[in-house]
Structure formats: structure tokens, C-alpha cells
Structure 1
Amino acid sequence: MIRKGKDCYRRKMEHQLQQNNICGVWKGLKTISGFKEPKSQPVGDQGSHLPDTSTVHTLSCATSPPSTPPCSSLLLTSHQVRNALKKNRARKAAGPDGISSRLLKSCADQLCGIFGYTVNLSLNLGRFPCFLFTLYTADFSYNTPSCHLQKFSDDSAVVGLITDGDDREYRGLIQDFEDWCLRNNLQINAGKTKELVVDFRRRRHSPPAPVSIQGTDIDTVKSYKYLGVHLNDSLDWSDNTDALVKKGNSRLFLLRRLRSFGVQGPLLRTFYDSVVASAIFYGIVCWASSITDRDRRRMDRLVRRASSVLGCPLDSVEVVGNGRMMAKLSSLLNNTSPLYRTV
């Protein structure tokens, strides 16, 4: 009966993989692995940051864009709003309003009615309530040899090179950005903003004075996750490797569970490529050529363990990194967009 049950489940998983039903696959894996959602409440807000003399700031901003013509033909139902609230990530940090994503997800049934009414009223009137929408910082730009503003969606990073203790341009850019946000009805979430300082001087000096935004001193951290990559104040990728190895080991457990249920061959390899390899090789173009030998050996051991589960050889970290680097360079060279310029 156990063998029969495993064979039945194997066929079900193969069908879901063939139909590209990733949601169904994950639900099944959570069931067989005994996964349970953590009961602890999310810890305080975290933001984004970069090297110092540089600093990186994550801004979560709310504003009311210009009014648009009414759109009475579009109507949201309570069911659609409930589904949207249920998709909230419970561990995601709260925004400037301080409302936890876990609360929105847990109370979706109670909130869907009033939220649906508010959105439909907004569509009928052609006006956006200031607490419903996010305005990005695309209109603000700054770029000099020693200071620039790096932006990705609503994650904004101020990066500055400070020489001989002269940080006037760096702090001036932060103040200009803060003033611009105030003029455009954007609220900077100072609690999610962090600063990462990389000191290239041989002699250690006293830490610089903290950056202040809206009267709040910004925390200085030794390591921070920015756009999925872990950066530290030594720029040695050790924190990033630790995170990748930990994530890879947890996903190898799921790979072994699939094999124990009889899933073999191409389907198991497809699961490895989409779930395991996508996690351990994330951002490999950035770090593959500059990680230490110790970190490279740790990553290669992880790949060899995956190879033993699959029963087939897998490329090492160096081979994968070189291949993806060449692919990225080829795509840049073959891109005829005027946004790219090749020399």
C-alpha cells in the first residue's frame, strides 16, 4: 500500500511538472516535508544599503498621482480583492503606515469589502487616494564620478565615495533627495533605511557621524541584502555564500523527498534547475570571479551533493559562472538599443 501510494503521488507530481503547475508542486512538497508556517511575528523593518562611503536607502513612498478620467467600466469584486490580500507575503516588512502584511493577509475576509468599495469609488471618481498607491522616484537622478543614486523600482541606493573626510556631496545628495520627496508628496521610510560603510583606509578611524533623515539617525550595519545579494563591509562575498549554501541545503531536502517518491529522470532535473540551481546560482555573474577558494569549495560541495541525488554530473560553480558571464556579455554586445553603448 505504501509503494502504491508513492507511485500514485509520483504520477501526480509528474503531471503537475509537465503542466507547469508550480503552485501545486510547492503545496505537495510542503505536505510531504511537514513544512509549517512560522508563528512568530515579523521582526522590525529592514531596508536597503550599500557600500559606503556609500550608503543605500530603501524608500517606500505613497502619493496621489494626477487625476485621470473616470473608469466606470472597471469594477472589482470582493472576491478579487480577497484573493489579492491573501497573496500578501506575511514576512514582508510593513510600509510607512506601519500595517503588517500578516495582518492584511489574515484579515482578508474582513477587509475585502471596504477595500473593494474604496478602490471602486476611486475608479468611478477618477481620483487616487493618497494611501493606496506608490509613486516611484524615476524623475530624480544624480550621477557624478564620486556620487550617484542607484534606483530599482522603489529601492533607492545613494552611493558615495568619500575622500579625505569630505562627505559634503554625499550628505548633500541625501538632503536633496529628501527635499525632492517632500515636494512630491513622497514619504521616506527612515526605519527601513540602512547605511553600509566600506572603509578602504589601512588605519581604522572613528566611524562617521550617522546620516539623519527626517530627524531620525540611520542605523549603520555590517551586512545587508540588496536586490537579493548579500553585501558586507569587507566586500568578500562571505555573507552571500553563507546565505546561498543555507538556502541550497534546504532545497536539496525537497529534491531528496521527490526522489524518495519515485520521481526520476528529466522531471527531477527540471525541478533541480528551476528550484535548486536558480537559488544557489543567483547573481553568479557578480560574485563567481571574486569569491574566495574556501567559499568556492563550499558551493562545489553543494553541487556535488545535488549531483549524487540526480545521479548525473553537474557543472561546477566556475563553469556555470563563466558560461553565464559569456552569455551576459553576448547579450549586451548584440543589443542594438540606444541605451547601450559598446566600445
Structure 2
Amino acid sequence: MAKHASNSIIKFADDTTVVALITNNDKTAYREEVRALEVWCQENNLSLNVNKTKEMIVGVRKQQREHPPIHINGTVVERVVSFKFLGIHITDNLKWSTNTVSVVKKAQQRLFNLRRLKKCGLAPKTITNFYRCTIESLLSGCITAWYGNCSAHNHKALQRVVRSAQRITGGKLPALQDTHTTRCHRKAKKIIKDINHPSHCLFTPLSSRRRGQYRCIKAGTERLKNSFYLKAIRLLNSHD
């Protein structure tokens, strides 16, 4: 549980991530949170691996202020411009080229196995199932979070993999844009039904005259217009 409302602590297996919102360049709450985590680990006989601990400052402003480094157990924590979080590459400028390049590279490697299966004479249905399990699952992993803000170049690179797989399988495969749309709509409906979801409050029903219609956060920038939330609102209002 975070000590400050502006901070969040995310735990997954043996990994712990501290996320902090820094306002007016005031990093007091953030530094206190890191210090509290360090003390808690010491009191509970847990050792923090500082060499594997990374710090990343996320921001889209052209001019960034200098931020003093964080220390854990007297050691400076390395500051990075990107890191892998739950399988997704996140960068400090909130762009997705690094993640896309990684996904495309892995997917192309798996296309080799798809070609080998075809040469072995496996049935088209079996080859397609292999594609869906090993390649499509990779291309669509957390797609609601990153696909909407990918560049046109990234979209083309991803779709080329799908077209290559389609030529190998010999059957029609769903385009990633269609997969993204379906996943966004499905996820939005789940969030609306779950009052405990952190994003539930972002979906506000409109007046009773427009039953089934919702509004979300203001689309002030192009990046926000392409976000999951605005995409979800458009889909909900068009389907319902």
C-alpha cells in the first residue's frame, strides 16, 4: 500500500514497481515512497537487488529538468530511457517503436517454424492454430495499451508479419487493426461493469436520454485522441 495518494505500488511475482506522479517538480512523496520500501524490505529480511533496479522519468516535454538520482542502500539507481515491464517495452517519451521492433523481430523468428510445419505437410488448420498460439498472441499482447499510439510505420511492420503468415497458412487471418478494435471494445465493457477497476471512474454515462452512451477524459492532444480510453468511448457509443 502506497504511503501517498500520488504514488502507486505495483507487484507482480518477485518484481515491485513504484509509480509516482511528480507535480511542480516536487519529488518529496516519490523519494519517501522509495525510502519506505527500502526500510520495509530491511525489516522483513528481503534484499533489494540494486543492480537490477532501474529508474525511468516519463515525460513528453521538450525541456526536462535535472532530477537528482535515487539511492538505495547507498548505491545510485541506474536511470534508463526504456525498460521492459510485464513483457512490454516502455520508453520515457511514451513512444512505441522500441516495443514494436522487439515484437516484430520475435514474430519473424517464429515465422520460420511456421514455414517448417508447412513443409512437413501439416494440415492448414493445424498451421493456423500454431500461428494463433505463437505469433498472433505475441503481436496482440497488451494491444489495447500500445497499438493505438503506434506510428504508421510501426503499423505497417506489424501487418507485414500477418501478411507473411497468411501466405504460409493459405487462409484469411484477422488484421491487427480489427483485433485491436475488438479487444478495446471488450475491455471497455469489462471496466464499466467493474466498479473496483482503477479506470472505472473515467467512463461517465451521459444523460438518461442517451442511454448506453458514455464520455471520457478530454482529448486535448493527438496522443490522447489515440489512447485506449477515447478509442473505447467511440466504440461503446457506436455499438450501443
Cα distance in 1, alignment partners of residues 166 and 85 from structure 2: 30
* 1:201 paired to 2:61: yes
Q: Which amino acid is 1:196 matched to? A: M
Which residue, out of 237, 261, 282, partners 2:120? 261
Cα distance in 2, alignment partners of residues 172 and 184 from structure 1: 18
**Aligned partner of residue 321 in structure 1, secondary structure:** helix
Cα distance in 1, alignment partners of residues 32 and 98 from structure 2: 31
Matches for 1:200-239 after TM superposition, within 5 Å: 200-206=60-66, 208-239=67-98
In structure 1, the residue matched to 2:2 is 142
Q: Which amino acid is 1:318 matched to? A: Q
Cα distance in 1, alignment partners of residues 60 and 183 from structure 2: 30
In structure 1, the residue matched to 2:155 is 296
In structure 2, the residue matched to 1:182 is 42
- How far did 1:155 drift? 1.4
Structure 1 or 2, whichever has the larger Rg, is 1
Q: Name the % identity.
A: 33
Q: Runs of 5+ in structure 2 lacking a partner?
A: 205-240
- How far did 1:333 drift? 4.3
CA contact (8 A) 1:143 1:149 kept: no
TM-score normalised to the size of structure 1?
Answer: 0.55
CA contact (8 A) 2:60 2:93 kept: no
Which residue, out of 17, 26, 30, partners 1:157? 17
Matches for 1:35-114 after TM superposition, within 5 Å: none
| 243-252 vs 164-173, greater mean Cα deviation | 164-173
The higher-RCO structure (CA 8 Å, 6+ apart) is 1
Q: Runs of 5+ in structure 1 lacking a partner?
A: 1-140
Cα distance in 2, alignment partners of residues 255 and 144 from structure 1: 50
- How far did 1:183 drift? 1.2
Cα distance in 2, alignment partners of residues 202 and 249 from structure 1: 35
* 1:243 paired to 2:114: no
In structure 2, the residue matched to 1:271 is 130
CA contact (8 A) 1:247 1:280 kept: no
- How far did 1:143 drift? 6.3
- How far did 1:276 drift? 1.1
CA contact (8 A) 2:103 2:139 kept: yes
- How far did 1:334 drift? 4.9
* 1:192 paired to 2:58: no
- How far did 1:163 drift? 2.7
For 1:157-177, what per-residue CA distance to the aligned partner results, in whole angstroms no more than 9, with x for missing partners? 111122332211100110011
**Aligned partner of residue 289 in structure 1, secondary structure:** helix
- How far did 1:201 drift? 3.1
Cα distance in 2, alignment partners of residues 143 and 289 from structure 1: 33
Q: Which amino acid is 2:85 matched to? A: Y
In structure 2, the residue matched to 1:171 is 31
Alignment: residue pair count: 200
In structure 2, the residue matched to 1:286 is 145
Cα RMSD after superposing both structures: 1.8
